[in-house]
């Protein structure tokens, strides 16, 4: 992370003027006008084919989707999807190690792109020499990623330009060194293939991931409430319309996924700890174990929509310290009590927000929404008249399908105009 300021500076110096402007001319005809230093470009398509890139944390993910229609009526079909998780490599550090994440993204992203194009039947070998200008552009852009530069030049020089209309890339939030790899890679493709680049907010991706079903982005009734629970976030977000977000609650310290991971570590479980805690807690329920431990429910009755999970984590730490040693049964009981505490707090605050904001639709999103108990609690305890969306388990964690959905949603929202040189990694990007 300490290199990120220098990194930003180098990228800023190397950026070129490319901008794009979007107009949706009818429900099925969309155009994107853009400008780069080699001239103007215009993409018009009945159906947009989007390449999406995600590198915000420890997953390198690329997808290709085709989409058409306006907000609230979007057809969305995934043509190919690839995901490479680095979780095993980060295990020995007990969490994500940013320098390693960046290096792995840079090494893997080019072969992953080829694989994804191949899956979508869009990969064709062809002699496609880059111009001297293009090579010097890319060289400058990828100054900090020499290995990636070499791989990418070789790939582009031997690959026919695929039939793609736009590229979407995660711009934040996340680990900046990791985000920059995806962004610079996407910029390079945007320059060489002469197609626009659309920056995407990762959290919008998590929201939309629960709506991706049956080759569409499911229309929803507003106001909608989204509870985003992941390794980096615990947020309650009110959506008054598509692309209009108001964050009403946030964690004041640890994110809930972070608390799962830290408690797992205290119990001697491996990273990522969420699924491990979940398994132990499930055993405790199945075996009908007693409940000898009681942990706090932080901020459960406060008059706001904020959360705090660091006290809960510390309470587990004291509990373990006081016990001295833990049997397998102790571990299961602690995991269950911890999971109960976290889910009760999440549920209570969500119910209050539903009432206060007259919510019609509820969305659960983020890596922790893979948790079976949390899914069950929300499925069974929300008011009957609320329509609820939970992502398919495979779309709960970081993935590029949700980035493609968010990218198309940006295109269809007509409002956003972005310049290539303004696209930067922002570790704290907010909705």
Scanning 20-28, 256-264, 313-321, 384-392 for contacts with ligand ADP by CB under 6 A, the matching segment is 256-264
Of 172, 205, 397, 407, the one binding ligand ADP by CB under 6 A: 397
What's the token pair of residue 17? 């003027």
54 binds Mg ion (CB under 5 A): no
230 lies in the binding site for Mg ion (CB under 5 A): yes
| Residue 398 touching Mg ion (CB under 5 A) | yes
Q: Which residue, 59 or 137, has its beta carbon nearer to Mg ion? A: 59
Q: Give Cα 155 to chain centroid, integer Å.
A: 26
Alpha carbon 221 to its chain's center: 23
* Residue 217, helix vs strand vs coil: strand
43 touches 31 (CB < 8 A)? yes
Nearest to 421 by CA among 212, 99, 190: 190
Alpha helices in 2-97 (DSSP H): 4-14, 87-90
Establish if 223 lies at the interface with ligand ADP (CB under 6 A).
Answer: no
C-beta of residue 403 within 8 angstroms of C-beta of residue 175? no
Least spacing, CB of residue 366 vs Mg ion, in Å: 6
Rule CB under 6 A: choose which of 98, 172, 231, 391 binds ligand ADP. 231
Stretch that binds ligand ADP, among 111-119, 329-337, 353-361, 367-375 (CB under 6 A): 367-375
Site mask for ligand ADP (CB under 6 A), range 16-55, x = bound: ----------------------------------------
Residues between 276 and 305 that touch ligand ADP (CB under 6 A): 278
First to last CA, the chain: 22
* Sign of the alpha-carbon torsion through 172, 178, 184, 190: negative
Question: Any contact of residue 261 with ligand ADP (CB under 6 A)?
Answer: yes
Written as six digits, the tokens of 102 are 């960046």
Provide the token pair at 146: 């020499």
Q: Which is nearer to ligand ADP, 22 or 57 (CB)?
A: 57
Binding span for ligand ADP by CB under 6 A among 72-80, 227-235, 295-303, 410-418: 227-235
Q: Name the residue among 342, 323, 205 with its Cα closest to residue 274.
A: 342
Instruction: Choose between 48 and 401: whose C-beta lies nearer to ligand ADP.
Output: 401
Using CB under 6 A as the binding rule, whether residue 94 contacts ligand ADP is answered as no
CB of residue 225 to Mg ion, shortest distance in Å: 19
User: Is 178 near ligand ADP (CB under 6 A)?
Assistant: no
- CB of 274 within 8 A of CB of 368? yes
Tokens of 268: 């001697």
- Rounded Cα distance between 259 and 311, Å, is 10
Q: Is the bond leading into 173 cis (omega within 30 degrees of zero)?
A: yes
Q: Is 234 in the site for Mg ion (CB under 5 A)?
A: no
Tell me which of 69, 172, 257, 298 binds ligand ADP, using CB under 6 A: 257
201 binds, among ligand ADP, Mg ion, none (CB under 5 to 8 A by kind): none
Give residues 9-28 in contact with Mg ion (rule: CB under 5 A): none
45: which 2 tokens? Answer: 């398509």
Residue with the two structure tokens 């695929």: 162
Q: Which does 182 bind (CB under 5 to 8 A by kind): Mg ion, ligand ADP, none?
A: none
Residues with Cβ within 8 Å of 219's Cβ and at least 6 positions away in sequence, in order, are 72, 73
| Pairing mode of beta strands 418-419, 59-68 | unpaired
Q: Does 162 interact with ligand ADP (rule: CB under 6 A)?
A: no
Which lies closer to ligand ADP via its Cβ, residue 337 or residue 398?
398
The residues that touch ligand ADP, with contacts defined as CB under 6 A, are 57, 230-233, 257, 260-261, 272-275, 278, 366-368, 370-371, 397-398
Residues that bind Mg ion (CB under 5 A): 230, 398
């Amino acid at each position: 992370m300490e290199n990120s300021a220098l990194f930003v500076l180098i990228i800023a110096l190397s950026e070129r003027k490319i901008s794009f402007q979007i107009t949706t001319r009818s429900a099925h005809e969309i155009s994107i006008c853009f400008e780069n230093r080699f001239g103007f470009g215009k993409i018009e398509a009945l159906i947009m084919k989007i390449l999406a890139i995600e590198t915000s944390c420890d997953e390198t993910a690329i997808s290709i989707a085709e989409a058409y229609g306006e907000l609230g009526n979007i057809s969305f079909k995934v043509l190919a999807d690839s995901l490479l998780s680095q979780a095993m490599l980060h295990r020995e550090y007990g969490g994500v190690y940013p320098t390693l994440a960046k290096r792995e993204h840079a090494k893997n992203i080019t072969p992953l792109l080829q694989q994804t194009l191949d899956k979508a039947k869009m990969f064709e070998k062809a002699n496609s020499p880059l111009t001297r200008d293009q090579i010097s552009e890319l060289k400058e852009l990828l100054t900090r990623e020499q290995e990636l530069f070499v791989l990418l030049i070789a790939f582009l020089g031997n690959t026919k330009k695929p039939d793609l209309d736009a590229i979407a890339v995660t711009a934040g939030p996340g680990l900046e060194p990791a985000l920059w790899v995806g962004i610079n890679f996407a910029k390079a493709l945007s320059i060489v293939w002469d197609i626009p680049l659309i920056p995407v907010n990762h959290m919008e991706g998590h929201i939309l991931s629960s709506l991706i079903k049956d080759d569409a982005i499911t229309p929803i009734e507003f106001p909608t409430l989204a509870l985003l629970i992941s390794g980096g976030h615990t947020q309650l977000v009110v959506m008054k319309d598509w692309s209009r977000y108001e964050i009403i609650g946030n964690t004041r310290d640890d994110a809930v996924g972070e608390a799962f991971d830290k408690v797992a570590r205290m119990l001697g479980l491996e990273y990522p700890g969420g699924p491990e805690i979940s398994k132990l807690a499930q055993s405790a329920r199945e075996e009908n174990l007693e409940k000898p431990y009681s942990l706090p429910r932080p901020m459960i009755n406060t008059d706001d929509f904020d959360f705090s999970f660091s006290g809960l984590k510390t309470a587990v730490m004291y509990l373990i310290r006081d016990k001295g040693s833990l049997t397998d049964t102790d571990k299961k009981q602690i995991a269950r009590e911890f999971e109960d505490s976290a889910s009760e707090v999440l549920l209570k605050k969500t119910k209050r927000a539903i009432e206060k904001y007259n919510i019609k639709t509820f969305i659960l999103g983020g890596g922790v929404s893979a948790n079976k108990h949390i899914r069950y609690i929300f499925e069974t305890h929300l008011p009957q008249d609320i329509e609820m969306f939970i992502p398919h388990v495979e779309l709960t964690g970081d993935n590029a399908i949700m980035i493609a959905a968010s990218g198309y949603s940006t295109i269809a929202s007509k409002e956003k105009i972005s310049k290539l040189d303004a696209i930067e990694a922002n570790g704290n990007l907010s909705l």
